[in-house]
Structure 1
């Protein structure tokens, strides 16, 4: 029997890369993948180029369709809007129906944002003037649980984890209560992936077919701002730290989790123990802007590679608001112990991040 997979976000940067890896997976002939896309044109392209995929035209705002598709799927992989709580609740309702009618425990692999996911989740607003003290460990449920529910994306995460945890005994349960509900897990198993600064031009079958987005958001936006002002820019002093990961390596994490589930890898936890950081290295904002400046000098686009501080007016002009611009001075620090415990082994470092600046800048030019 084939594994029914619902894929949401296939035309995106992460989603397209993950889907491309699923199509090339050694067990691809056992997958029955349904792709939800709101674009009629993209749907036609998918049907033409990848006839093994089933395409449904619709958006994540179409809760009835989303619920129905989820109810028909053993695995749901979500790489679209991380803040769309109604869409996630529709998926959860569908998976609850699946569990009630089929009796299995469906799988929900959720992405906390389609790009640069830890904005709002692990960040502290340090305005480039200091390094935030918080360092989170994805292998420590207490570390994750310490995140306040008011953090961006957190309400969606908590709803998913709650669905996984329903029916599990607490430490206060009597022995009889534990016996009665010992076999009652939630109605699904959840796995939540938090990528960091994702970089690199995606180059796979879906981008070549014009179906999925080949580019990131965070680094290109900083490059655009520097090009428009004619000099590399930085928030504050740029000393705050952020993690990074290459697009191919973070996509590998999704496959590693899926394979671990299938192979019953005991390290692949779910629910409150089902958070996975996509982090391969850390960098300061100053280092990143300095490299942008170096490439701009090399291209004859500016005279100095030294980043200068963005003014509030520039933050509004280039990033939409002062608050939005100050995101480029925030701190986000994490340790991917859980991801690595399941066999994920990223090789790229911040040197690879800096090496990606030249092709990104050339593409923008």
Structure 2
């Protein structure tokens, strides 16, 4: 089974929030409380999204969602749509006890979405997959040390040292010598890739492209059969099926799931929706835009907000699984 446990980026093994985080004025007190609560969960603790918003003293679901978005915008939290080397996918959580600049940047890059697509590498690490197909840092690349200002400063030369207990004649301890500044070591130039590495990269890219083709074909085939059954035989321009498959593939490539594509096609109610209809339908099913309905916004959906454990396409895309948004909180060891 694919690992859906959160990856926690912390500087201490305990729930000790460093001063820089506790004093981050961009966070509301409720945001800081929710972050602390998430960091305090054990590895074997599973929680559903609605558990965060139920119980005595808990805010409502909409309030919790806003907190999670604020935490994500400042680099403390995000969801990861993980693609593993075996081709399986799963939704997991990433939490940090300090702000990760890369996470905040990705939150903006992916249109202020909580879920970010990441791809597992040969060494077990993950890389973010951007809309243009390139891979970038997931924020876990470097082991963090506490910031320098978190450590106690040595007393200045003109300040007295600590007095000895019960010894009125004890002399003040001499000040510690000032630490010498060591210039940072220059990073060696990146080594050029060998022919074998280039071939491996090309093979990996080809495998990813093939996986996208297969997923797009699967969704398009399902939709074409479903549409002809519910909307009638297709009588539009030639090549409609191929065009729909291309639209689906482009959506998958930028991070939409098979399930979201299927729901968007159902929402559009067209054998071959126009480009704007397709984009609007994707925005509606993922709740990034409000549907054009006189009765207000689309009802809240756990699956759209929290994602499913697998992006596999079911035979009835409109159905929901009560346990689809389960997530397990804990620490995953990183090399």
More helix by share: 1
Q: How does the TM-score come out when normalised to structure 2?
A: 0.26
Larger radius of gyration: 2
* Larger relative contact order (CA 8 Å, sep ≥ 6): 2
More strand by share: 1
Q: How does the TM-score come out when normalised to structure 1?
A: 0.25
